[in-house]
């Protein structure tokens, strides 16, 4: 299926299009951004793409995601792109920027980290880009540094 | 330099200038400049896991400075066992004291405590993560013995993989122009993360498996224990622990001035016969912990400006 056709299938008038998501992370990203109860969402998975081997697409109707929200996607799929659509027109093409800190959404992989033992200790990670392929997260509490993988999502 | 209300959680948060200042004040405390430093102060010593030495050192530091302390030595009888969260415990106790000293089995506990505490928090060990007052007393002792830290050849000896003390010390020494000799069994080498940090800081380091080639170069030999449970094969442990035991024979492969340090408690990694040598400074090192802890408590409570 060509990219052209994918767009035709899901065309939206108003909302946010997240394209070039590394497959199969579309569902994870919907979870992280809490989009599941947020109106109509179209999901396309496993399209062929030049940018990544297989890509997913998410289209969220009538919701304009903020930059802070979309930058979280950079943790798992830095090649994703964001288009904001109004009245059928792309009004903003947004690039992802890696956030410096990430709150709540990741779980610390260290079993004896304090954040894994008390319900009132939320997580906080400092984010470092190691290279094009690897992003590391350092737990602010236990100070362990690990590469970010989708399995770390709570 | 303003230390009032500063939390002492991790060597990571402490700059070289702050380390130098803490060492300067510790020396003044040791010289008797600040009698009754903690008079009218109440300090909380919250030991969620037992650590008799660290607790006694803090409590002695407080008492010798005329302060009072409240707290517990382990979590068995405290509200923790009744399901109270750490944050709630701290939110309560912060209203009873001028500073909190916390020891906890989980990594990150001291930073969580500092987030909700109204008074400064000093980390006395959070799991395998940090124990900054140990590192500060190590640096103070080195500086006191040599009058400097720059230019020294320092050997870290034993378990460099799991040893929290040597990780933290290596991070602090990265501020200085030292040569580090990392002497350990291949299995227990310093993790690459810490070596990376040394590299980035421009600290030359050399890895060895024995003292033989380099013992004579050392100004300091910092000894840590090999733990039996780190070895899959008990025979391997027996073989290794022998070569990482400091005996009177070991002293022959060191220079005449090489000082021997150890974070204590020791088990059998330094034979008691070594204690009588002038270069064995580990008990002195432990005693310096009192002055460094007095200085820190004085600084964070604002008793020392
Ligand atoms: Zn953690």
Rounded to 5 degrees, what angle do the CA atoms A87, A91, A94 make?
Answer: 135
State which residue of chain B sits closest to A121, comparing Cα positions: B112
User: Residue B227 and residue B209: Cα distance in Å, rounded?
Assistant: 17
Cβ proximity of B260 and B270 under 8 Å: yes
The reported pLDDT for the residue numbered A11 is: 84
pLDDT band per the 50, 70, 90 thresholds, residue B238: confident
pLDDT for residue A131 is more than 90: no
- Integer Rg of chain A from CA: 16
B11-131+289-300 CATH: 3.40.50.1370
B12 carries an active-site annotation = no
User: Residue A10 and residue A13: Cα distance in Å, rounded?
Assistant: 10
Least confident stretch, A125-139, B122-136, B144-158: A125-139
pLDDT band per the 50, 70, 90 thresholds, residue B80: low
Domains (ranges, CATH) in chain A?
15-94 (3.30.70.140), 101-152 (2.30.30.20)
Tell me whether A142 touches chain B (CB under 8 Å).
yes
Is B85's CB within 8 Å of A115's CB?
A: no
The reported pLDDT for the residue numbered A1 is: 45
| Cβ neighbours of A144 in B, within 8 Å | 107
- The ranges assigned to domains in chain B are 11-131+289-300, 133-285
Tell me whether B126 touches chain A (CB under 8 Å).
yes
List pLDDT tens digits, range B24-62: 999 999 999 999 999 999 999 999 999 999 999 999 999
Tell me whether B107 touches chain A (CB under 8 Å).
yes
pLDDT band per the 50, 70, 90 thresholds, residue B234: confident
Tell me whether A144 touches chain B (CB under 8 Å).
yes
User: Residue B133 and residue B45: Cα distance in Å, rounded?
Assistant: 14
| Domain B133-285 in CATH 3.40.50.1370 | yes
* Residues paired with A43 in a beta bridge: A58
pLDDT for residue A9 is more than 70: no
What phi and psi, each to the nearest 5 degrees, are found at residue B287? -65, -35
Spot the catalytic one: B6, B30, B98, B103. B103
How many residues belong to chain A? 154
* Residues paired with A138 in a beta bridge: A126, A145
Residue with tokens 């190691």: A130
Tell me how far CA of residue A14 lies from CA of A40, A41, B280, in angstroms.
Answer: 11, 12, 75
Domains B11-131+289-300 and B133-285 share a fold: yes
State which residue of chain B sits closest to A122, comparing Cα positions: B112
Percent above pLDDT 90 for chain B: 88
User: Which of helix, strand or coil describes residue A133?
Assistant: coil
| Cβ neighbours of B109 in A, within 8 Å | 114
* Mean pLDDT value of segment B269-291: 98
Helix ranges restricted to H, chain B? 16-30, 52-64, 86-93, 109-116, 132-146, 164-173, 192-200, 234-243, 248-252, 282-300
Residue B186 DSSP label: G
Is A113's CB within 8 Å of B107's CB?
A: yes
pLDDT band per the 50, 70, 90 thresholds, residue A38: confident
List pLDDT tens digits, range B197-233: 999 999 999 999 999 989 999 999 999 998 888 888 8
pLDDT band per the 50, 70, 90 thresholds, residue A4: low
* Residues paired with A146 in a beta bridge: A137
| Cβ neighbours of B111 in A, within 8 Å | 114, 140-141
Is A118's CB within 8 Å of B87's CB?
A: yes
Helix ranges restricted to H, B9-108? 16-30, 52-64, 86-93
Chain A and chain B share a number of CB contacts under 8 A equal to 54
Least confident stretch, B22-26, B77-81, B283-287: B77-81
């Amino acid at each position: 299926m060509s990219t052209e056709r994918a767009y035709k299938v899901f065309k939206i008038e108003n909302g946010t299009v997240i394209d070039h998501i590394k497959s199969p992370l579309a569902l994870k990203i919907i979870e992280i951004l809490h989009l599941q109860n947020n109106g109509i969402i179209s999901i396309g998975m496993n399209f062929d793409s030049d940018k990544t081997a297989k890509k997913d697409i998410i289209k969220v109707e009538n919701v304009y995601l903020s930059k802070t929200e979309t930058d979280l996607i950079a943790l798992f799929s830095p090649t994703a792109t964001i288009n904001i659509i109004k009245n059928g027109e792309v009004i903003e093409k947004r690039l992802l920027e890696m956030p410096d800190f990430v709150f709540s959404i990741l779980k610390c992989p260290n079993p004896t980290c304090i954040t894994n033992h008390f319900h009132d200790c939320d997580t906080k990670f400092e984010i470092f880009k190691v290279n094009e392929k690897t992003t590391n997260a350092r737990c602010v509490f236990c100070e362990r540094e690990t590469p970010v993988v989708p399995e770390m999502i709570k | 330099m303003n230390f009032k209300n500063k939390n002492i959680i991790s060597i990571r948060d402490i700059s070289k200038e702050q380390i130098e200042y803490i060492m300067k004040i510790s020396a003044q405390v040791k010289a008797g400049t600040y009698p009754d430093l903690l008079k009218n102060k109440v300090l909380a010593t919250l030991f969620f896991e037992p650590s008799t030495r660290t607790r006694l050192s803090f409590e002695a530091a407080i008492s010798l400075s005329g302060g009072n302390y409240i707290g517990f030595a382990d979590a068995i009888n405290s509200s923790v066992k009744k399901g109270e969260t750490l944050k709630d415990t701290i939110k309560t106790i912060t209203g009873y004291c001028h500073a909190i000293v916390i020891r906890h089995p989980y990594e990150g506990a001291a930073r969580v405590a500092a987030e909700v505490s109204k008074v400064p928090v000093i980390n006395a060990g959070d799991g395998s993560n940090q124990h900054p007052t140990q590192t500060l007393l190590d640096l103070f002792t080195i500086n006191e013995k040599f009058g400097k830290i720059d230019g020294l050849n320092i050997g870290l000896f034993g378990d460099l993989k799991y040893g929290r003390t040597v990780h933290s010390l290596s991070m602090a020494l990265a501020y200085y122009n030292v040569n580090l000799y990392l002497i350990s069994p291949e299995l227990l080498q310093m993790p690459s993360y810490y070596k990376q940090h040394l590299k980035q800081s421009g600290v030359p380091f050399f890895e060895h498996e024995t003292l033989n080639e380099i013992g004579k170069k050392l100004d300091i030999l910092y000894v840590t224990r090999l733990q039996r449970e780190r070895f899959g094969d008990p025979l391997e442990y027996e073989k290794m622990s022998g070569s990482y035991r400091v005996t009177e024979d070991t002293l022959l492969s060191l220079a005449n001035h090489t000082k021997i340090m150890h974070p204590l408690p020791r088990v059998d990694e330094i034979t008691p016969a070594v204690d009588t040598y002038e270069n064995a400074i580990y008990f002195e090192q432990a005693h310096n912990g009192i002055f460094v802890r007095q200085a820190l408590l004085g600084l964070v409570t604002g008793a020392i400006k």
